[in-house]
């Protein structure tokens, strides 16, 4: 009876998501792209995939450079995700709508970061991906403001504006956008948690476990970076994302560590013990945080993939689609930049995540 109810509730969602994922790039597609001898041939190979009509519509004659291609792919990701969200109804639709707020928060992070370092409006907008004409107008209006404080004061979403205003003193004290980015991330997580209240404990836990993994591993990497750059204690405190009780306990514990091995030892005490061992090996061999971040992305992708296997009628199908679609976009951007710069295919393979 329980399985029948779940199949009935998520049947339409599953069909829509499976249809979209069926169009995803396969390993053979990635290999064909990686074998491109130069950037022009890479674009030619990419035009042979489902992205061909999208690229042609955006640049019918010109060869789009990596930055232009990144924007084209990001807009397609936003459009596909937005269409999926609009096609859903009820509590599943409300969850998808909350989850898609990632486009709003990432856009605001980009704008705050760009305004902070003094980029021009046109430069910042080239990296921002609105999901609707109304959002595009809002982004453009916010960027007309003279500084970050005035930008925040003009945000039309009251609870989001308040969350950012509370972090303004930290932003000014540390001369860093990190505290504001943390405020955006925590606001976004609260919205998702609110949207989960209507679901069963099983469905809630599916999503919370994935989000906890992302938050905990992100905080661990941040703490490693803080130790390398010798952040003071107040800066570290302002850079930790707070989420569930377990996640907050982990964040509080790693803040007390004074070495990279101590941070990873604390990570071993969580559900991510295997990941802690992998990260220790990478850091011991390379001392390269970028490699560690890539391994974290791969780990989370594999956790998400598990949500799409076996019995498919549950909320993990939605979050699985959003994340795997995002990874495909990021993979293509990484390959494009690598080939354009002449990076060997063997190195580019290490930069992408194929599920």
CB atoms inside a 10 Å sphere around CB 204: 15
At 70 the pLDDT is 85
Query: CA 235 → CA 150, 161, 222, 246, distances in Å?
Result: 23, 22, 11, 22
CB atoms inside a 10 Å sphere around CB 9: 18
CA angle 263, 245, 272 (to 5 degrees): 40
Mean pLDDT highest for which of 130-134, 188-192, 316-320? 188-192
For the chain, what is the mean pLDDT?
87
Residues 10-38 pLDDT 10s: 665 666 666 666 778 888 999 999 999 99
Q: Mean of the pLDDT values across residues 61-81?
A: 85
CB atoms inside a 10 Å sphere around CB 1: 5
Helix 102-116, helix 178-195: angle, nearest 10:
170
Of 316, 272, 121, 105, whose CA–CA distance to 191 is shortest?
A: 105
At 19 the pLDDT is 65
Domain ranges of the chain: 1-65+329-355, 88-199, 212-314
Share of residues in the chain with pLDDT > 70 (%) = 91
**DSSP assignment of 293-304:** HHHHHHHHHHHH
At 15 the pLDDT is 67
At 319 the pLDDT is 76
Residues 142-185 pLDDT 10s: 999 999 999 999 999 999 999 999 999 999 999 999 999 999 99
| Encoded tokens for 45 | 């190979």
Of 224, 271, 282, whose CA–CA distance to 249 is shortest?
A: 271
- Give the rounded distance of the alpha carbon of 18 from its chain centre: 21
Specify the range with the lowest mean pLDDT, choosing from 37-41, 94-98, 131-135, 344-348. Answer: 131-135
At 154 the pLDDT is 96
At 224 the pLDDT is 93
At 130 the pLDDT is 79
- Which residues in 226-255 are b (16+ Cβ under 10 Å) and which e? bbeeebeeebbebbbbebbeebeebbebbb
The set of long-range contacts for 150-159, using a CB threshold of 8 Å and a minimum separation of 24, is 151/111, 151/112, 151/115, 152/112, 152/180, 155/108, 159/187
Q: Mean of the pLDDT values across residues 227-248?
A: 92
Q: Mean of the pLDDT values across residues 329-340?
A: 89
């Amino acid at each position: 009876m329980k399985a029948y109810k779940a199949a009935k509730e998520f049947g339409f969602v599953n069909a829509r998501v499976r249809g979209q994922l069926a169009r995803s790039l396969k390993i053979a597609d990635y290999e064909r792209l990686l074998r491109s001898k130069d950037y022009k041939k890479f674009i030619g190979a990419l035009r042979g995939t489902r992205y061909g009509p999208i690229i042609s519509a955006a640049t019918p004659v010109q060869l789009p450079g990596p930055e232009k291609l990144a924007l084209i792919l990001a807009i397609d990701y936003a459009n596909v995700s937005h269409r999926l969200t609009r096609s859903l109804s009820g509590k599943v639709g409300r969850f998808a709508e909350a989850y898609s707020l990632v486009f709003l928060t990432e856009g605001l992070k980009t704008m705050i970061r760009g305004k902070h370092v003094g980029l021009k409006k046109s430069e910042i907008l080239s990296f921002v991906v609105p999901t609707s004409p109304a959002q595009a107008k809002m982004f453009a209006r916010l960027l007309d403001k003279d500084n970050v404080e005035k930008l925040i004061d003009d945000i039309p979403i009251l609870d989001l504006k308040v969350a950012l205003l509370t972090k303004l003193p930290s932003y000014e004290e540390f001369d860093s956008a990190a505290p504001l980015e943390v405020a955006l991330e925590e606001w976004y997580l609260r919205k998702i948690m609110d949207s989960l209240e209507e679901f069963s404990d099983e469905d809630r836990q599916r999503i919370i476990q994935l989000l906890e993994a992302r938050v905990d591993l992100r905080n661990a990497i941040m703490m490693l970076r803080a130790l390398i750059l010798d952040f003071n204690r107040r800066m570290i405190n302002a850079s930790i994302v707070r989420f569930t009780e377990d996640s907050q306990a982990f964040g509080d514990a790693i803040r007390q560590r004074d070495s990279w091995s101590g941070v990873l030892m604390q990570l071993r005490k969580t559900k991510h013990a295997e990941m802690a061992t992998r990260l220790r090996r990478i850091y011991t061999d390379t001392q390269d945080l970028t490699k560690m971040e890539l391994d974290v992305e791969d780990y989370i992708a594999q956790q998400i993939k598990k949500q799409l296997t076996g019995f498919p009628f549950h909320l993990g199908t939605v979050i699985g689609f959003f994340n795997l679609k995002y990874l495909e976009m990021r993979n293509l951007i990484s390959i494009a930049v690598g080939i354009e710069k002449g990076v060997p295919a063997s190195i580019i393979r290490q930069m992408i995540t194929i599920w």
